[in-house]
């Protein structure tokens, strides 16, 4: 399962009564036993950038906060925990016309994309049958839930059938603004296909392809494809010159869209505790 970890220390403010998802996890499982070493000098992996921490073999020993954390009579199977720490309050811009929030710094968006990719690859490495995810970083004044839900949808499509069965457990929390959509509603609208046809709803493949096209336009802003070749406003790629004319033009130089575990490890680390 995903643990939305504290970037400074394992367990966050659990000793001070904090009520985040990680702190609740520390109260309900035996994960605190493995966190002791971080208090005695061992490097805390989640403090590093572009890193997720994988820990296995934990037992859920208590019930929910609402129930008063009772000790369970029947102990369920052990779980693996994948801890991911993201920037809590990245600078965001509000589009007054659409009402949507967007990242001011592209690096903030790319950081969470890379962490989601690492998270999914880590889930595949644990040999678990299912993975439970959540609204990563979407707390108060945090990452925009619509942006994050679309990232998950795109990246899950990218890895395809290699990832275990995916479930999202999201708190339906509207403490700040009861009129606004909560994280649960936003994720449901994006991830779950509506019962009635909605032309605005996109499949995972459509989200992935749209993102690829949008990135292409950002990388090559001067290229346009409008109507037939040579039509009004159309700009064409320069043709081969000199010796290039004698060479067969192929797609072998293209970069594949898929990302393997080896590719991911080249720009980020995957650590097991």
- Reading the chain (273 residues) residue by residue, the pLDDT tens digits are 999 998 888 888 888 888 889 999 999 999 988 888 887 778 888 888 889 999 999 999 999 998 999 999 998 999 999 999 999 899 999 888 888 888 999 899 999 999 999 999 999 988 889 999 999 999 888 999 999 999 999 999 998 888 889 999 998 776 556 667 889 999 999 999 999 989 889 999 999 998 888 888 878 877 655 554 444 444 444 544 444 434 433 333 333 333 333 333 322 334 444
CB contact set of 84 (below 8 Å; sequence gap of 6+): 2, 3, 4, 5, 46, 52, 53, 115, 118, 119, 136
pTM (two decimals): 0.75
3-state secondary structure (DSSP) of residue 213: helix
Greatest alpha-carbon span in the chain: 79
Q: d(Cα 134, Cα 21) in Å, to the nearest integer?
A: 10
Residue 269: strand pairing partners: 51
For 16-47, give one letter per residue: b (16+ CB within 10 A) or e: eeeebbbbbbbbbbebeebbeebeeeeebbbb
pLDDT of residue 149: 96
CB contact set of 106 (below 8 Å; sequence gap of 6+): none
pLDDT of residue 25: 92
């Amino acid at each position: 399962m995903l643990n939305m970890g504290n970037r400074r220390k394992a367990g966050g403010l659990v000793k001070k009564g904090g009520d985040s998802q990680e702190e609740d996890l520390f109260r309900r499982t035996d994960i605190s036993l493995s966190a002791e070493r971080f208090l005695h000098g061992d490097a805390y992996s989640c403090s590093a950038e572009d890193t997720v921490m994988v820990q296995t073999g934990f037992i859920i020993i208590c019930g929910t906060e609402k129930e008063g954390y009772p000790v369970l009579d029947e102990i369920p199977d052990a779980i693996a925990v994948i801890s991911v720490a993201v920037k809590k309050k990245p600078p965001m811009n509000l589009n007054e016309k659409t009402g949507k929030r967007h990242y001011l710094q592209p690096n903030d968006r790319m950081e969470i994309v890379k962490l989601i990719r690492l998270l999914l690859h880590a889930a595949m490495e644990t040999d678990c049958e299912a993975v439970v995810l959540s609204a990563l970083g979407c707390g108060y004044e945090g990452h925009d839930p619509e942006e994050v839900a679309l990232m998950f949808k795109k990246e899950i499509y990218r890895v395809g059938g290699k990832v275990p069965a995916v479930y999202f457990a999201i708190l339906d929390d509207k403490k700040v603004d009861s009129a606004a959509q909560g994280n649960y509603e936003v994720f449901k609208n994006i991830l779950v296909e509506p019962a009635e046809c909605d032309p605005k709803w996109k499949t995972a493949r459509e989200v992935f392809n749209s993102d690829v096209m949008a990135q292409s336009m950002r990388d090559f802003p001067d290229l346009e494809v409008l109507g037939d070749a040579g039509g009004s406003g159309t700009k064409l790629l320069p043709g081969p010159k000199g010796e290039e004319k004698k060479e067969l033009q192929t797609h072998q130089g293209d970069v594949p869209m898929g990302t393997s575990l080896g590719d991911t490890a080249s720009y980020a680390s995957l650590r097991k505790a």
